[in-house]
Structures are given as C-alpha cells and as structure tokens.
Amino acid sequence: MCRNIKTLYNFAPPATEDEIQAAALQFVRKISGFNKPSKGNEAAFLAAVDQIAAAASTLLNSLETNAAPRDRIIVAAQARERSAKRFGRLPEKRQG
C-alpha cells in the first residue's frame, strides 16, 4: 500500500490538496491494516486521515529549498523507464 505514496514536495505545479489527502489515506490504510474500516472504526479512521493530511499540508508549506522544482511529467516518465527496466515492460499510464 505505501508504495503508492509519492513524494509531494518541490514539484511544479505544487501538490494539490487531493494528492495530500490521497497520501494520508494510504498512510492510514497501511498503519491501521484496514483498506476500508468497519462502521465502528470509520469515524476514527477518517479523523486520522484528516489529521495526517493537515499535518502533511503544514509540513509541505513550511519546507524550504534552494533546488529548482521538479517537473511532474519528467519524473513520471523516469519512473516508467525504471519500471520497464525492472519488470521488462512499460506499465500502463494511470488515469487521474
């Protein structure tokens, strides 16, 4: 699950709130062991996602760097190339 959490810092354009929320959801799924919590755990699960997303957003907005922002398209293409070398084929491009 956590393999799906991508670096969100220092990209042009910056990470969106949706991307931060998705990373927080993946993190909570990983540490809780729930892909989808039961009704009894749903409130705690969703509260944790919101709290982690808020903390991540604060972190990303507070970090400073002198490095130039990375281009999302170039980084994604490099990842596909690494995957092709590792697995012997190009992965399908994801929608969204």
H/E element, 69? none
pLDDT digits (tens, 9 = 90+) for 49-65: 999 999 999 999 999 99
Q: Which residues contact 19 (CB under 8 A, 6 or more apart)?
A: 6, 8
Peptide bond into 37 cis (omega under 30): no
- Kindly tell me the sign of the dihedral angle through the C-alpha atoms of 47, 12, 9, 36: positive
Burial class of residue 7, CB neighbours in 10 A (0-12, 13-18, 19+): exposed
Return the domain boundaries, the chain. 11-87
pLDDT digits (tens, 9 = 90+) for 14-38: 999 999 999 999 999 999 999 999 9
Q: Give the pLDDT score at 68.
A: 92
Q: Give the pLDDT score at 93.
A: 63
* Residue 72 pLDDT class (50, 70, 90 cuts): confident
